[in-house]
Amino acid sequence: MTQPNISAQSRSKFRDYCTLTKPEVNLLVLMTTSAGFYLACRGPLNVAGLINTLIGTLLVASGTATLNQWMERVWDGQMRRTAGRPLPSGRLNAREALVFGILLSALGGVYLNFLVNRMASLLALSTLLSYLLVYTPLKRKTPLCTLIGAIPGAMPVLIGWAGASGSLGPHAWFLFAIVFLWQFPHFLAIALMYREDYDRAGYKMLPAFDRDSHFTLAEIVAFTVILILITMLPPTGHGDAIYFGGMALTGAFLLYHVIKLAKSASRVLAGRVLHASVIYLPIVLGILIARRG
């Protein structure tokens, strides 16, 4: 008679562990890692290498997300959007999350080192360390945290590139620049949407110091324009009408929503910029992949 309850509890706990890994963020991580790997390939795609790179990167990214929530569990409990997470809600305890995060991270680093290559492993572990030891503490100290956090946020493309080639070249850094710049309209839109929540938990996000939002909006516009200009520089030094047309139309789509937000800094328009950015990045990466052939 007690078996169904035990089974239900097990499923609930499994879901909570999955939630700790932030699967919605990991979809983006896997997408950018895949793009980096594919664009670094010379000749036919190494499918086994791609799969191994994705598995190892996913493990490290999941461990990073888990350890981040372990570090921020007290402050997550003070924010409406995160209070229901497994740790602040009490569904999992801190020790469970800590052990889970360490195991995932270590397993991912070892997996990449032995089944992919050492550079991919080192890049993944440096991403973890910079995210947890630099970016996470800075969120409670300075609005520059977004700038710093954009570095580990763009690292998956380098991990993917290194996984395919074992080295990094100019084209890898071109991809890195795109993902790095893309994060500013994306995450500053989130900061505008949840300004009060971040304030309540003591996070020093830019909108907390920019009450009229003028500087935040100017930064979103500036980084969006720079991002669009960068994408118009084909990594191979030449492009065709499809490349330039695709990048221009995609950039115009994102810029349209950014300009609307700049004219009226509402939460609704910030949400539209967020959704536009989520559509924008896969299209840009898809164009790069398509033009590689």
pLDDT classification of 9: cutoffs 50, 70, 90? confident
Of 106, 136, 166, the position where a domain reaches its end is: 166
SS3 content of the chain, % helix, strand, coil (to 5): 80, 0, 20
Confirm if 248 and 204 have CB atoms less than 8 A apart: no
Q: How far is CA 169 from CA 138, 162, 275, in A?
A: 30, 9, 31
- Residue 242 shares a structural domain with residue 273: yes
* Number of neighbours of residue 271 by Cβ within 10 angstroms: 16
Q: What is the CATH number of the domain that holds 229?
A: 1.20.120
Angle between helices 170-193 and 145-165 (to 10 degrees): 140
Choose one of 122, 141, 166: the last residue of a domain. 166
The pLDDT assigned to 1 comes to: 45
Q: Are residues 198 and 158 in the same domain?
A: no
Q: What average pLDDT does range 3-23 have in this prediction?
A: 85
Residues 6+ apart with CB under 8 A from 291: 234, 239, 240, 242, 243
The residue out of 123, 150, 166 marking a domain boundary is: 166
CATH of the domain at 105: 1.10.357.140
Together in a domain, 108 and 211: no
Q: Please name the amino acid found at residue 106.
A: A
Check whether residue 3 and residue 115 sit in a common domain. Answer: yes
Q: Are residues 160 and 178 in the same domain?
A: no
Same domain, 31 and 157: yes
**Domain match, 232 and 132 both:** no
| 157 lies in the same domain as 239 | no
52 and 129, same domain (yes or no)? yes
Residue 134's domain spans which residues?
1-166
Give the integer Cα–Cα distance in Å for 175 and 79: 34
Task: Report DSSP letters for 204-221, one per residue.
Answer: --HHHH-TT-HHHHHHHH
**Which residues have C-beta within 8 Å of that of residue 202, sequence separation ≥ 6?**
75, 78, 140
Q: What is the mean pLDDT of the chain?
A: 93
Q: Using an 8 Å Cβ cutoff, are 64 and 132 in contact?
A: yes
Is pLDDT of 2 > 80? Answer: no
Same domain, 188 and 225: yes
pLDDT for res 226: 98
CA distances in angstroms from 33 to 82, 132, 229, 251, 258, listed in the order given? 27, 20, 23, 22, 26
The number of distinct structural domains making up the chain is 2
Whether the per-residue pLDDT at 4 is higher than 70: the answer is no
**What pLDDT shows up at residue 293?**
59
Kindly state whether residues 189 and 293 are assigned to the same domain.
yes
Q: Are residues 40 and 106 in the same domain?
A: yes
